[in-house]
């Protein structure tokens, strides 16, 4: 955290955790990471978290280490934030913990999340909610199935409604946010010769930032009317916020048309604090969490160049 007495403070934030390692044999997006060229710092780096978001964290660290080189000093004060538990339930977030326990450290006028965006500005983010839809049956020996009631079969209409659902595209402050609603996990059954008496379908809804978590919940409940639905986690989205002077200045410095962020990111937490925030970082967001996750070293250097130029 710099204390230069500048009239504006910018927060550069990034999470340190990753999703679990891939289980596919031969996957390159694992650990230890590997340079395709065989030369560290040249070409493409493969490894879990390379895109999401070790490339962005590398930009933060490089900027912190070099921003005063040659007697230079940024025109804006800068706060660097590194935190854990972004890739799990919102209640476990390290950034949320920082807000609760040391919120004063996050005072600022503008925040940049160095999530992978292919080096373009992505404004706001979709919200996310998780639900469990449960069906209950009656256990029986599978040789006498008529003596029981199959809870997995009873869940079929839930899956059918989700499969038939047509997600919306919602324009919010000039950016088009695509929503998605999907079954992401299913649990049911105890043994190969037992009719299951319980089945749980886990559902994830990514909703546009014009909706609150409660409105998103109402939408899911309406779709799955007649079923037992429980919301297990929710995080609000964030509107683009690109009309703020600092955001507009940064978009101009990047020089590319801003896009919406479909995934949830911690721009939403900064938005709740009244701090406008955008996503900007190296790496292809479509590679995040994939078995071949990788980032190009030149993309990391370009993001570093853009940020250094804008700050100075």
DSSP state letter for 22: P
CA 271 to CA 123: how far, in whole Å?
11
Half-sphere exposure of 264 (CA within 13 A, CB side): 24
Output the six-digit token pair for 45.
């780096």
CA 18 to CA 22: how far, in whole Å?
11
Q: Can 86 be counted among the known catalytic residues?
A: yes
Q: How many CB atoms lie within 10 A of CB 166?
A: 6
CA 134 to CA 279: how far, in whole Å?
36
Residue from 294, 237, 260 nearest 53 by CA:
294
Residue with tokens 């990034």: 14
CA 73 to CA 67: how far, in whole Å?
7
Which entry of 36, 52, 75, 86 is annotated as an active-site residue? 86
Phi-psi category of residue 106: left, alpha or beta, with phi > 0 → left and psi -120 to 50 → alpha: alpha
Q: Is 269 in a helix, a strand, or coil?
A: helix
C-alpha distances (whole Å) from 163 to each of 154, 167, 169, 182, 218 are 16, 10, 17, 8, 19
Q: Hey, which residues are catalytic here?
A: 17, 86
């Amino acid at each position: 955290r710099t204390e230069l007495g500048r009239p504006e403070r910018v927060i550069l934030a990034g999470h340190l955790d990753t999703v679990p390692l891939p289980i596919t044999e031969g996957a390159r997006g694992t650990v230890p990471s590997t340079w395709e060229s065989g030369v560290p710092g040249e070409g493409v780096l493969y490894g879990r978290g390379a895109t999401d978001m070790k490339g962005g964290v590398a930009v933060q660290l490089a900027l912190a280490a070099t921003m005063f080189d040659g007697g230079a000093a940024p025109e804006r004060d800068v706060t660097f934030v590194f935190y854990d538990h972004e890739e799990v339930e919102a209640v476990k977030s390290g950034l949320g913990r920082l807000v609760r326990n040391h919120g004063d450290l996050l005072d600022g006028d503008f925040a940049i999340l160095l999530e992978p965006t292919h080096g373009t500005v992505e404004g706001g983010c979709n919200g996310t909610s998780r639900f469990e839809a449960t069906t209950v049956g009656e256990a029986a020996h599978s040789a006498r199935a008529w003596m029981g009631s199959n809870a997995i079969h009873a869940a079929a209409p839930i899956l059918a409604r989700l499969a038939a659902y047509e997600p919306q595209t919602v324009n919010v402050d000039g950016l088009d946010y695509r929503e998605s609603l999907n079954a992401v996990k299913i649990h049911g059954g105890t043994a190969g010769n037992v009719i299951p008496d319980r089945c749980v379908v886990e559902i994830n809804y990514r909703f546009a930032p014009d909706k609150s978590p409660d409105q998103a919940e109402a939408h899911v409940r309406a779709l799955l009317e007649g079923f037992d639905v429980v919301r297990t986690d929710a995080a609000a989205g964030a509107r683009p916020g690109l009309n703020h002077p600092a955001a507009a200045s940064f978009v101009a410095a990047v020089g590319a048309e801003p896009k919406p962020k479909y995934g949830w990111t911690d721009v939403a937490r900064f938005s709740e604090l009244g701090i406008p925030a955008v996503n900007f970082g190296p790496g292809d967001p479509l590679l995040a969490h994939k078995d071949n996750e990788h980032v190009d070293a030149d993309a990391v250097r370009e993001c570093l160049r853009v940020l250094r130029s804008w700050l100075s």
